[in-house]
Amino acid sequence: MSDTTFILNGKETPFAPGQTILDAARDAGVVIPTLCYLKGAAPTGACRVCLVEVTGARSLVASCSTPVTPGMEVFTQSAKVLRSRKLVVELLLASGKHDCIVCEANGNCRLQDLAYACRITEMKFSPSEETYPVEDVNPFIVRDFNRCILCGRCVQACNEVVVNRAISFGYRGSKSKIVTGGDLPYNESECVFCGQCIEVCPVGALTEKKAKGMGRPWETEKIRTTCPYCGVGCQQLLHVKEGRIAKVTAVEDAQPNQGRLCVKGRFGYDFIYSEDRLKTPLIRQNGKFRESSWDEALDLVASKFKDIIVKHGPDAIAGVSCARSLNEDSYQMQKFFRAVLGTNNIDHCART
Partner 1 sequence: MTNSFADFAKAKMLFVIGSNMTEAHPVASTFVKEAVLAGAQLIVVDPRRTPLVDFASLHVPIKVGSDVAFINGVMNVLIDEDLYDKDYVASCTTGFEQLKEKVAAYPPERAAEISGVSPETIRDVARRLAAVKPAMLIYTLGITEHICGVNNVLSCANLQMLLGNVGFECGGVNPLRGQNNVQGACDMGALPNVFPGYQKVDNPEARAKFEQAWNVPKLPEKPGLMIPQMIDGLLDGTVKAFYVFGENLANTEPDIRHVEHCLDSAEFLVCQDIFPTETTRFAHVILPAAAWSENDGTFTSSERRVNRVRTASAPPGEAKPNWWIFRELARRLGHPWKADSAQEIWDDEIACLAPSMAGIRYARLEKDGIQWPAPSEDHEGTSFLHKEGCFTCGLGVFSPVDWIPPAEVPDKEYPLVLSTGRRLYHYHTRTQTGRSQGIDDLLGEETADISPADAADYGIGHGEMISVRSRRGEVVVRANVTEQLPKGMVWMAFHFREACANWLTNPAYDPKTQTAEYKACAVQIAKLR
Among 30, 61, 92, 178, binds ligand SF4 (CB under 6 A): 178
Residue 31: count other Cβ atoms within 10 Å of its Cβ. Answer: 10
Q: How many residues would you count in the chain?
A: 352
Residues 6+ apart with CB under 8 A from 6: 12, 13, 15, 24, 68, 69, 70, 71, 72, 73, 74
Q: Which is nearer to partner 1, 12 or 221 (CB)?
A: 221
Q: Which of residues 96-135 bind ligand FES (CB under 6 A)?
A: none
Stretch that binds partner 1, among 22-30, 67-75, 96-104, 322-330 (CB under 8 A): 322-330
How many other C-beta atoms can be found within 10 angstroms of the C-beta atom of residue 113? 14
Binding of residue 41 to partner 1 (CB under 8 A): no
Side chain identity at residue 139, one-letter code: P
Of 63 and 220, which CB lies nearer to partner 1 in the complex structure?
Answer: 220
- For 145-202, the DSSP string reads GGG-----HHHHIIIIIS----EEEES-GGG-EEEEGGG--GGGSS-----HHHHH-S
Q: Enumerate the β-bridge partners of residue 178.
A: 169
**Selection from 152, 141, 158, 162 nearest residue 258 by Cα:** 162
Q: Which amino acid is at 318?
A: A
The contact pattern for ligand FES, residues 294-323, with x = CB under 6 A and - = no contact, is: ------------------------------
CB 144, min distance to ligand SF4, A: 9
Rounded CA gap, 193 and 180, in Å? 13
72 binds, among ligand SF4, ligand FES, partner 1, none (CB under 5 to 8 A by kind): none
Nearest to ligand SF4 of 193, 337 (CB atom) = 193
Query: Given the rule CB under 6 A, which of 86-94, 237-245, 256-264, 315-323 is the region that contacts ligand SF4?
Result: 256-264
- For position 57 contacting partner 1 by CB under 8 A, the verdict is no
Site size for partner 1 (CB under 8 A): 110
From residue 191, how far is each of 108, 141, 204, 257, 270 by CA, in Å?
24, 11, 19, 19, 22
Contacts of ligand SF4 in 194-253 (CB under 6 A): 194-197, 200-201, 203, 205-206, 227, 229-230, 232-234
DSSP state of 322: -
Q: Which of residues 201-260 bind partner 1 (CB under 8 A)?
A: 209-210, 223-235, 238, 240, 243-245, 254-257, 260
- The option from ligand FES, partner 1, ligand SF4, none interacting with 38 (CB < 5 to 8 A, set by class) reads none
CA proximity to 136, closest of 61, 83, 187: 187
76 touching ligand FES, by CB under 6 A: no
**Under rule CB under 6 A, residue 262 binds ligand SF4:** yes
Q: Which of 8, 24, 46, 81 binds ligand FES (CB under 6 A)?
A: 46
Query: Could you tell me the CA-to-CA distances from 256 to 188, 253, 260 in Å, in that order?
Result: 30, 9, 9
Angle, vertex CA 136, rays to CA 135 and CA 139, nearest 5 = 145
Binding mask of the shown chain, residues 137 to 166, with x at each position contacting ligand SF4 by CB under 6 A: -----------xxxxxxx--xx---x-x-x
Nearest to 117 by CA among 148, 142, 82, 147: 82
**62 sits near ligand FES (criterion: CB under 6 A):** yes
With respect to partner 1, which residue has the nearer C-beta, 65 or 225?
225
Smallest gap from residue 43 Cβ to partner 1 (A): 16
**Could you list the residues that contact ligand FES (CB under 6 A)?**
34-37, 45-50, 62, 64
**Could you list the residues that contact ligand SF4 (CB under 6 A)?**
148-154, 157-158, 162, 164, 166-167, 178, 186, 191-197, 200-201, 203, 205-206, 227, 229-230, 232-234, 257, 261-262, 264-265
